[in-house]
Amino acid sequence: MAKKIPSSSVKNRNASPQFSAAGFFYTPSGLFLLCVLLYAAVVWTFWPALTGQFMFYDEFGYLLTNAHVCSGLTWSNVIWALFSTDFANWYPLTWISHMVDFQLHGTAPWNPPGPNPWGHHLTNVLIHAGCAVLLLLVLKRMTGALWRSLLVAGIFALHPLRVQSVAWISERKDVLSTLFWLLALWTYARFVEETRSEKGRTKIFYALTFLFFVLGIMSKSMLVTFPCVLLLLDFWPLDRWRITNVRRLILEKIPFFSVVLLVSWIAHVSQKMGGMLTEMSFLPLEARIENALISYARYLGKFFWPTNLCIYYPHPRFWPGTYVVLAALLVAGVSAFAWLGRRRFSFFFVGWFWFVGTAVPIIGLEQLCSQSIADRYTYVPTMGVALIAVWGLHALTKQWRHQTKAALLGSGVLFCLSVVLTRHEIGFWQDGDTVWKRAEAVTENNYIAHCNRGIILQSTQPEQAFAEFQEAAQINPNYPEAQRCLADIYHQRGQLDQAILHYQAATRADPGDSRPQFGWGIAEYQKGNPDAAIVHLQKALTINPENLQYQNTLGLLLAQKNRFSEAIPLLKNVFASAANNPDAANNLGVALLKNGQFDEAIAIFKQAQSFAPDSAALQANLTLAINTKQQQAAATNTPAAAATNAPPAH
């Protein structure tokens, strides 16, 4: 019967254990114990992350105010998840996993007991530890090299670069998709074994591989590179390129590539509709290629020297030419070495192109956001770098007399150092202020960090928040969020002219944001310019036609100008949407009354009294409407009714 692992791996499996006392770990019981120890080590290392709070960045809108997610696991929410492209992505399984967490740890965001961030963090940590164990099992099954596989899994799991993906609840998609990625690799290894045996269970394991791949890509579209990785693994360590027709190997991956094409199209459309294709997306191609080359070099640098990590690295738009040339020489040189040495150093070829290939979707060739790189993007790609490092050191030292002792000592030191650095990094992820303060400290001209820290400090330290917004706007005057936040503060202080200047700047920077138009309109109203206010409120409503606040405010202003044909439909929609809201009812009733629609006004006031019987305004206006109807002949002499809500101060 054929061996269930490739011939290149049989040598490793049949060789004597590298550690004389470690033979036990080659048994099923020993391997299980090793997995338990690795899992426990990873959980213990990341345990401090459980004290972290929900982050302002992403988690407020992404989770806490997302009614579908924070209301827990229901059939209607699951259906929404399957078809939603909210937040410019399609990842239904990630949404469902968050729903489960809210179901378990609280589903009422703003009422006690509320959601518990501890439980959400725990899920991330447990899944990440599972990824570490699976990586060990996958490499062990494919190569037969137990201790090298363990070292790669340990480097991957305990590296400080993992902190962002694990400690940031919103990055559940990283750990969850990778869990399915590794499950698919394990079943693929079994599929390859079955093709070489007489058991004939190839269809089962092929189907399982495809299933786990689909589940993974439903967690994050990062898995679009998965079929290419399978072809790399076919080269080494599975050694299928030598014994199987390459055309057959490619045809075998066609179903995977078909899913990739479909999901890539969905991702592109959802990101475009979700506003992810910002002004950075229109950088010239050469600028994006430059950033991609620099990014490869920076990711390698952070892997081998993981310092000054943070949540956000600003994009410089264009890099100095010297940096670009050096990065290009690095990438081209290593790629050439990997290609030329693909036979002798197969592990290097596979590890390097694993790193280069799996980073393609996030390397910046299609610039979706304004960051240049992100630590979380290294979650899968640096597995390849770890593989090169471990297998490469083994190859370089295999002639050493004391290789085993050196490997044991070096691994112990490396793991201890990784744990210390990772736990130190977790300390910067306790809350939003800590996260963004760290980003300000380790980067330059980080206007995103200044602005987001300002938003967090607004309610507790308004002067510090104002200074942060000013710094952000000074670094990048075209950053709309900083301009809008400055405008809001000036507005609150009553400095209306200054507020309008910043609302104008925010609108120029992002014409698709309705909030500056709305604030601008309120400021114009407060300056005594109702006609100008109406113009800007209409623009805000055109951008965001479903916003009830915009509809209500514009309706009140139009009613004040006696433009009832425009005001009444808006106020009717607000009343219909804001169930049992006495103010909405009163505003609509007053507009109807002032327009001479007495019967409709009386009906609205009476309806509102059923859910607000103690409202003096409703009772007074109902009496006025009845009396006015009885005195229609003298209607022009009837005192005007007063609306409950004048246009609100901003």
- Asked if pLDDT for residue 287 goes beyond 90, the answer is no
Domain enclosing residue 213, as ranges: 25-428
pLDDT in tens, 114-163: 567 999 999 999 999 999 999 999 999 999 999 999 999 999 999 999 99
Q: Which of 380, 405, 428 is the last residue of a domain?
A: 428
Which range among 2-11, 107-116, 586-595 has the greatest average pLDDT? 586-595
- Asked if pLDDT for residue 185 goes beyond 60, the answer is yes
Torsion, Cα of 206, 33, 173, 59 (10° steps): 160
Distance, in Å, from the CA atom of 69 to the CA atom of 132, rounded to the nearest integer, reads 28
Quote the DSSP letter at residue 17.
P
Q: Output the pLDDT for position 614.
A: 83
Contacts (Cβ under 8 Å, ≥6 apart) of 75: none
Average pLDDT over residues 208-219: 97
pLDDT in tens, 49-62: 999 998 877 787 78
pLDDT in tens, 230-240: 999 999 999 99
Lowest mean pLDDT among 5-19, 42-56, 275-289, 603-617: 5-19
In a domain, 490, yes or no: no
| Amino acid symbol at 537 | L
Helix, strand, coil percent content, the chain, rounded in steps of 5:
75, 0, 25
In this prediction, residue 621 has a pLDDT band, given cuts at 50, 70 and 90, of: confident
In a domain, 164, yes or no: yes
Lowest mean pLDDT among 14-23, 219-228, 518-527: 14-23
Average pLDDT over residues 484-507: 96
Q: Output the pLDDT for position 273.
A: 63
Count structural domains, the chain: 2
Q: Output the pLDDT for position 66.
A: 86
- Asked if pLDDT for residue 397 goes beyond 50, the answer is yes
- Asked if pLDDT for residue 87 goes beyond 80, the answer is no
Find tokens 């303060």 and name the residue. 437
Across 418-452, b (16+ Cβ under 10 Å) vs e yields bbebbbebbebbebbbbbbebbbeebeebbbbbbb
Average pLDDT over residues 214-223: 94
Residues 564 and 421 in one domain: no
Distance, in Å, from the CA atom of 216 to the CA atom of 132, rounded to the nearest integer, reads 16
Q: Output the pLDDT for position 112.
A: 42
Find tokens 């009837």 and name the residue. 638
pLDDT in tens, 244-266: 888 999 999 999 999 999 988 88
pLDDT: which is higher, 71 or 123: 123
Q: Do 428 and 434 form a contact (C-beta atoms < 8 A)?
A: yes
Report the half-sphere exposure of 163 (CA within 13 A, side-chain side).
Answer: 30
Average pLDDT over residues 389-412: 89
Q: Output the pLDDT for position 555.
A: 94
Find tokens 């590179």 and name the residue. 225
pLDDT in tens, 296-306: 999 999 999 99
- Burial (CB < 10 A; 0-12, 13-18, 19+), residue 381, is buried
Q: Output the pLDDT for position 308.
A: 95
- Asked if pLDDT for residue 17 goes beyond 60, the answer is no
Instruction: Name the token pair of 436.
Output: 């963004």
Average pLDDT over residues 83-91: 83
Tell me the CA distances in angstroms from 33 to 151, 155, 179, 318, 417, one per residue in order. 15, 19, 20, 51, 23
- Asked if pLDDT for residue 468 goes beyond 90, the answer is yes
In a domain, 48, yes or no: yes
In a domain, 461, yes or no: no
Q: Do 216 and 134 form a contact (C-beta atoms < 8 A)?
A: no
Q: Which of 383, 401, 428 is the last residue of a domain?
A: 428
* Three-state secondary-structure class, residue 107: coil
In this prediction, residue 12 has a pLDDT band, given cuts at 50, 70 and 90, of: very low
In a domain, 370, yes or no: yes
Q: Which of 397, 428, 459 is the last residue of a domain?
A: 428
Q: Output the pLDDT for position 15.
A: 44
- Asked if pLDDT for residue 113 goes beyond 50, the answer is no
Q: Output the pLDDT for position 644.
A: 58
In a domain, 582, yes or no: yes
Q: Output the pLDDT for position 286.
A: 87
The two counts, helices (H) then strands (E), for the chain are 32, 0
Closest CA to 188 of 175, 200, 174, 204: 204
Share the mean pLDDT of the chain: 88
Find tokens 């058991």 and name the residue. 199
Distance, in Å, from the CA atom of 129 to the CA atom of 147, rounded to the nearest integer, reads 18
Closest CA to 166 of 128, 216, 120: 128
Residues 424 and 573 in one domain: no
- Asked if pLDDT for residue 369 goes beyond 70, the answer is no
pLDDT in tens, 554-596: 999 999 999 999 999 999 999 998 878 888 888 998 999 899 8
Distance, in Å, from the CA atom of 29 to the CA atom of 334, rounded to the nearest integer, reads 40
pLDDT in tens, 89-98: 889 999 999 9
φ and ψ at 314, to 5 degrees?
Answer: -65, 150
The CATH number of the domain holding residue 606 is: 1.25.40
In a domain, 160, yes or no: yes
pTM exceeds 0.75, yes or no: yes
- Asked if pLDDT for residue 429 goes beyond 90, the answer is yes
N- to C-terminal Cα separation, the chain: 78
Q: Output the pLDDT for position 634.
A: 55
Lowest mean pLDDT among 192-201, 316-325, 596-605: 192-201
In a domain, 46, yes or no: yes
